[in-house]
Amino acid sequence: MIDVRERPWSRKPGFSKTALAASLAEAGIGYEHMRELGNPFRSDPEWKERYREHVRELPALRGLAARLAEAPTCLLCLEADPADCHRLLIVGALGADAVHL
């Protein structure tokens, strides 16, 4: 699992970085936080356009592409509405397919 939140903490029990990584490890699932893929433009009304440009320039995007080529990978974010989540923009920049769970 790759956590693409800029800030990997949460008020939801078990979803902050340390607790989440520990729970996933117990289940045999790896955890990696890729902070650089987080969305620093959340409060900007034009965030989607700004993030699309931003993510294309990130070296982390190439690293993620390599991971996706190896195996199916889960991208974690806690956005309530998938249509407003930057995960779609990450996947779109890679030309990959995504399924929201």
pTM of the entire predicted model: 0.86
The structural domains of the chain, with segments of one domain joined by +, span 2-94
CB-facing half-sphere around the CA of 84: CA atoms within 13 A: 10
pLDDT of residue 38: 93
Q: Kindly write down the DSSP assignment for every residue of 20-89, as one continuous string.
A: HHHHHHHTT---EE-GGGS-TTTTSTTHHHHHHHHHHT-HHHHHHHHHHHHS---EE---SSGGG-THHH
CB atoms within 10 A of CB 90: 25
**Residue closest to 42 by CA, chosen among 98, 85, 100:** 85
Average pLDDT, integer, range 36-47: 91
The percentage of residues in the chain with a pLDDT greater than 70, rounded to a whole number, is: 97
